[in-house]
C-alpha cells in the first residue's frame, strides 16, 4: 500500500511528490519491508485503498516508521475501521 501511495497519489497522503524508484526502495528498506524493483512496476497502475489494512502489531510498526519519514502521513486513513 505504501508503494501505491508513493507512485500514484503522494500529495493526498502527505508524501513528497516525485519520489524515484530508488528513493522508494530505500524508504522501504529503512522501514523494514523487503521490496523487489519489479514489485514497483506491478504496483504502479494500482490505486491505494483507504481502510484496507488490518491493525496488527507489524502493520502499525511499519506505518509508524513511515510516519517518521513523512510526518503528514495520515495512518488512520489506511487502517480498517473496527
Q: How many domains are contained in the chain? A: 1
Query: pLDDT over 70 for what percent of the chain?
Result: 99
Nearest to 3 by CA among 69, 23, 64, 60: 23
* Separation between Cα atoms, residue 82 and residue 28, nearest integer Å: 27
> Which residues, listed in sequence order, are joined to residue 3 by a DSSP beta bridge?
none
Q: Count the Cβ atoms, other than its own, within 10 Å of residue 71.
A: 7
pLDDT digits (tens, 9 = 90+) for 15-38: 877 788 899 999 999 998 988 888
Q: What is the pLDDT of residue 57?
A: 93
* Separation between Cα atoms, residue 78 and residue 55, nearest integer Å: 9
Q: What is the pLDDT of residue 8?
A: 81
Query: pLDDT over 90 for what percent of the chain?
Result: 28
The answer to whether residue 61 scores a pLDDT higher than 90 is yes
Phi, psi dihedrals of residue 53, rounded to the nearest 5°: -95, 140
Domain extent at residue 11: 2-78
Amino acid at each position: 500500500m505504501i508503494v501505491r501511495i508513493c507512485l500514484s497519489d503522494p500529495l493526498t497522503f502527505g508524501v513528497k511528490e516525485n519520489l524515484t524508484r530508488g528513493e522508494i526502495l530505500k524508504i522501504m528498506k529503512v522501514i523494514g519491508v523487503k521490496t523487489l524493483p519489479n514489485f514497483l512496476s506491478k504496483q504502479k497502475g494500482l490505486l491505494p485503498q483507504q481502510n484496507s489494512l488490518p491493525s496488527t502489531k507489524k502493520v502499525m510498526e511499519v506505518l509508524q516508521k513511515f510516519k517518521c519519514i513523512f510526518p503528514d502521513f495520515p495512518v488512520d486513513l489506511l487502517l480498517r475501521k473496527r
